[in-house]
Amino acid sequence: MISLRTVARGGTCLLMVLCLGHGLAVAGEGQVVRAGSAPTFRSPDGLATFELLLEPPGGNASYLGRAVFRPGARSPVHQHPDSEELVYVLSGSGTMTLGDATFTVEVGMALRIPAGVAHSFTVGGEEPMEIVQVYSPGGPEQRFRAWEQQTEGDKP
């Protein structure tokens, strides 16, 4: 059997994904959150929800979250001056503008958005778009806390 410490040496992200999939909680050096137990916030237009899975405890730690965008959801052009953003598309599709380039994003695509680069997206089709999102370092996710917090029954 492989210990959690051995897995963590291979990659913190792998540890988080394995543990989240099994709803485990680990104390000590790492942080693992049971799926569905993290604070979740809905955008003012009701078209997006963000589940703040792993928030940085301070310093230069990264943030990990899950977002669900309903059809018609849009993100205006914005940038994160001090944080790189990583996105992995779990379901749905849309159109992304990254700097001067515009392209389709779909299931299985991974995106790296460098700090300070302007970007936006629009969800396409009739299916919601679900993503896993990382900010490194964390910080930009704090804007979601200004939105309405969802109760257990309202979470997507």
**Are the C-beta atoms of 33 and 54 separated by less than 8 Å?**
yes
What CATH code is assigned to 38-147? 2.60.120.10
The pLDDT, as a whole number, for residue 97 is: 96
- Report pLDDT digits (tens) over 77-86: 999 999 999 9
Higher pLDDT, 99 or 5: 99
> For 128-139, what is the mean pLDDT?
89
Across the chain, what does the average pLDDT equal?
79
String of b and e for 124-140 (b: at least 16 CB within 10 Å)?
Answer: beeebbbbbbbbbbbbb
Domain ranges of the chain: 1-34, 38-147
Peptide bond into 137 cis (omega under 30): yes
